Amino acid sequence: MAHDALLNDLRAAVGAAHVLTAGDTDLTPWEQDWRRRHRGRALAVVRPASTAEVAAVVRLCGQHGVAIVPQGGNTGLVLGGVPDGSGTQVVLSTTRLQRIRALDAANLTLTVEAGCILQTAQQAAAEAGLWLPLSLAAEGSCTIGGNLATNAGGTQVLRFGNARDLCLGLEVVTADGRVWDGLGGLRKDNTGYDLRHLFIGSEGTLGIITAAVLKLVPQPAAQLTAWAAVPSLDAAVALLGLAQRRLGPGLTGFEAMNRLALQLVQRHFPQLSVPLADAAPYAVLLELSDDEGEAHARARLEALLGDALQNGCAADAVVAANLAQARTLWHIRESIPLAQAEEGLNVKHDISVPVSRIPAFCAQAEAALAQTVPGARLVNFGHLGDGNLHFNVQCPDGADAAAFLRAHEARINALVYDHVQRHGGSISAEHGIGGLKAALLPRYKDPVALALMRSIKQALDPHGRFNPGRLLA
């Protein structure tokens, strides 16, 4: 076989035990995507244990003209980290690069390798009394490298920004197998182009992130969670503005969910008691992180909600009495995708528009949906504070979900994305493009931006070795 020489070279570079092929190992965990919608076929799965080994793998694949698909925890949602069906691509798994290299408490930084699980990094920070404020559903299995390669979002973006905003520096293996050491951990460094932000969010198409310096913050003295029933999305946006003015940077979470989203949670997880379930068309979950203490936090949050009830932007509200109740409220919010899955196949979106456009966008897109696909059920929820909604569509009650998707998925996508575009929004707020949306990008992305992206790809990966077909099809 033509690839035998490469496999032998790879075995010499990382050890035979860490070059897996279908002949000796079930490669499903690396070849199948998280949502189990795609099964690729890898030439091999290679698991280097150090930056030097990653560089060696890149050089060897380059010499043999073989493409590399970098993969972290394989929890991506857009087919950005699994091989295609050709059997010619090498999956470079970063999961053995898992060391925590340093924690600098005075500099408030954590230096970790790319394969470190997000939760492990969170715990390392917590043990030092610090907080790594990146939190997402997959945190128990996703890796820091994947978080950065996809610029992951999650529930604390409102205050702390996306993954890129938590990163001060990177170590990256480039397409020619060299290592860029950008792990300085500086808060200010104006000595040239910001390579860090170029690699972050590039979905493994420009280089392989092998380590990163992450920003930490002191742990807050108290966190409190509240739940409010709101009469409309306009009211939700007004409540957001009020909370931002009153709580300032203390507001660390602001999630919205429509009534159907909560009804599905109740139907499929009846043990979860949803507060104020039928009180209003939307519910909002607020989180306050306070630097003084619980009593202070409670007084602030109750004063805010009192004003919100009075001025009509909330119809009813509760503050979690204790940590267990707060966890339940977050658990309800996080159970919506699972409840959707229990309800049956559905059409998912991950869109953003300016916060001020949310009510108009939702009203117009929902009306168009009702007209185009009568009976389709909108499950609308997400990170309202960031303008990011998962505007998902379930088939009519009782209908055949698979048949519904076959008939309507493409049409629903086009309808939603066209409305997003009309409101100046993004067709991928936090999940990325990967292989799933690469073909759509030319329709929705500014053509000059796309041309610039292609120039950069050509400059940094001239032979197209890194994750071909993803992001830029």
> Nearest approach, Cβ of 39 to a copy of itself (angstroms)?
24
> Nearest approach, Cβ of 16 to a copy of itself (angstroms)?
30
Using DSSP, state whether 439 is helix, strand or coil: coil
Listing DSSP states for 331-354 in one string gives HHHHTHHHHHHHH--EE---EE--
Nearer to a copy of itself, 184 or 312 (CB): 184
Nearer to a copy of itself, 328 or 380 (CB): 380
Using DSSP, state whether 172 is helix, strand or coil: strand
Nearer to a copy of itself, 321 or 439 (CB): 439
Length of the chain: 473
Residue 24, class by beta-carbon neighbours within 10 Å (0-12 exposed, 13-18 middle, 19+ buried)?
A: exposed
Nearer to a copy of itself, 148 or 395 (CB): 148
Alpha-carbon span 83 to 435, nearest angstrom? 10
Using DSSP, state whether 48 is helix, strand or coil: coil
Nearer to a copy of itself, 178 or 267 (CB): 178
Burial 45-82 (b: 16+ CB within 10 A, else e): bbbbbebebbbbbbbbbbebebbbbbbbbbbbbbbbbb
For residues 110 and 125, is the Cβ–Cβ distance under 8 A? Answer: yes
> Nearest approach, Cβ of 185 to a copy of itself (angstroms)?
5
For residues 141 and 93, is the Cβ–Cβ distance under 8 A? Answer: no
Alpha-carbon span 472 to 96, nearest angstrom? 28
Nearer to a copy of itself, 18 or 390 (CB): 390
Nearer to a copy of itself, 333 or 383 (CB): 383
Alpha-carbon span 204 to 434, nearest angstrom? 9
> Nearest approach, Cβ of 15 to a copy of itself (angstroms)?
26
Nearer to a copy of itself, 318 or 360 (CB): 360
> Nearest approach, Cβ of 71 to a copy of itself (angstroms)?
18
Alpha-carbon span 443 to 445, nearest angstrom? 6
> Nearest approach, Cβ of 80 to a copy of itself (angstroms)?
10
Nearer to a copy of itself, 323 or 459 (CB): 459
E-state strands within 309-447: 316-319, 346-347, 351-352, 377-383, 388-394
> Nearest approach, Cβ of 293 to a copy of itself (angstroms)?
11
Nearer to a copy of itself, 85 or 249 (CB): 249
For residues 112 and 214, is the Cβ–Cβ distance under 8 A? Answer: yes
> Nearest approach, Cβ of 251 to a copy of itself (angstroms)?
10
> Nearest approach, Cβ of 350 to a copy of itself (angstroms)?
8
Query: Within the chain, what is the greatest distance between any pair of CA atoms?
Result: 74
Residues sharing a CB contact under 8 Å with residue 203, sequence separation 6 or more, in sequence order: 80, 149, 150, 432, 433, 434, 467, 470, 471
> Nearest approach, Cβ of 74 to a copy of itself (angstroms)?
18
> Nearest approach, Cβ of 241 to a copy of itself (angstroms)?
6
Q: Which amino acid is at 199?
A: F
Displacement of CA 84 from its chain's centroid (Å): 22
For residues 175 and 460, is the Cβ–Cβ distance under 8 A? Answer: yes
For residues 263 and 171, is the Cβ–Cβ distance under 8 A? Answer: no
CA dihedral 275, 279, 283, 285 (to 10 degrees): -40
Nearer to a copy of itself, 275 or 434 (CB): 434
Nearer to a copy of itself, 270 or 447 (CB): 447
For residues 406 and 347, is the Cβ–Cβ distance under 8 A? Answer: no
> Nearest approach, Cβ of 177 to a copy of itself (angstroms)?
11
